[in-house]
Amino acid sequence: MSQAMDSIDVVVDLLKNNPEIAALGFNTYKPRPARQTCGQLEELRETIFHHVPNDQLLIPRSSLDREGILRLCAELSPGSRLALRSEIQVSGAPKFIPMIDFICEKSEANLRLLSSQLGHLHRIDGFNTGGGVLLETDNSYHYQARRLLPLDKWTSFIGHVLLLHPPAEHRELAHRTGALSVIDVRWAGHVLIGGGGALRISQNFDGKFPRVVKQVAA
C-alpha cells in the first residue's frame, strides 16, 4: 500500500485481507455542534453522557468496491457523516476491526509517538492484527488494523488502547509535546458500552477524505 491511500482505499484493502467478510456495517450520523463552554452543572452532565444518535447500514461485500463506497458518501444527507463499524459477523460469531480514535494534535512528533506506541501494541502476544494504518483527519488521527480480532482479543485490545493515555507522572511532558490527551477516551468508553465502535470514513470539513500518513508494521 502507498501513502497516497485514503479512508476508502483502507476499507477496500480490509476486504481484500479478510475474504471471510460477507458484509460491513456503517453508521450515518450528524456531529453534535461543539460548545466552547459549559455554564451549568446540568449542562456539563448532559454533555458528558451524550451519545450521538446514528442510523445503521449493513452493506454486502459485493457493493463495497471503491465506487460503491464513494456512492454511499455521496448519498448522505447534508451535514451527515459515514462511519465504518468495528463489529462484523463472521459465520455467526462476532469479530472486530481493531480501530482507535486519537485526539492529540497533528504533528510529526506525535505521529512518531503514535507509531511507536502502536508498534508496541502489535507486539503484544495474541494481537495478530497484521499491522495497520494511521489516517490524518480534521484535527487528529485515526488508526485501523488490517485483520479482525475475536471478541476476547478485541476487548483486551481496547483495554490496552486505554493504556496509551499518558500516565499522571508524565503529564507535564505530554502537555509540552501537545500529547496530553492521546486517545479519545470518551470514544473508547462508548465502544465498551456499545460492544463496538465506529470511525468516520467520509470527507473531512475540507472536502477531502482522511488520508493515510503512516503504515504501522505488524
Give me the domains of the chain, ranges plus CATH numbers: 7-216 (3.90.920)
Cβ neighbourhood burial of 199 (10 Å; 0-12, 13-18, 19+) = buried
Q: Are 114 and 143 within 8 A, CB to CB?
A: yes
Amino acid identity, residue 96?
A: F
Strands (E), 43-152: 54-60, 81-85, 87-90, 93-96, 99-101, 132-136, 141-145, 149-150
Longest CA pairwise span in the chain (Å): 51
Q: Which residues contact 72 (CB under 8 A, 6 or more apart)?
A: 26, 57, 59, 82
Kindly list the distances between the CA atom of residue 202 and the CA atoms of 76, 89, 132, 207, 211, in Å, as whole numbers in the listed order. Answer: 9, 23, 19, 9, 11
Q: What's the pLDDT tens digit per position in 156-166?
A: 999 999 988 87
pLDDT of residue 122: 82
Return the CA Rg of the chain.
17
Rounded CA-CA distance 202/82 in Å is 5
Kindly list the distances between the CA atom of residue 180 and the CA atoms of 38, 58, 121, 176, 185, in Å, as whole numbers in the listed order. Answer: 21, 36, 19, 8, 12
The C-alpha cell at 84 is 465504518
pLDDT class for 44, splitting at 50, 70, 90? very low
Q: What's the pLDDT tens digit per position in 53-86?
A: 578 999 999 999 999 999 999 999 999 999 999 9
Q: What's the pLDDT tens digit per position in 159-186?
A: 999 988 877 777 777 677 666 678 999 8
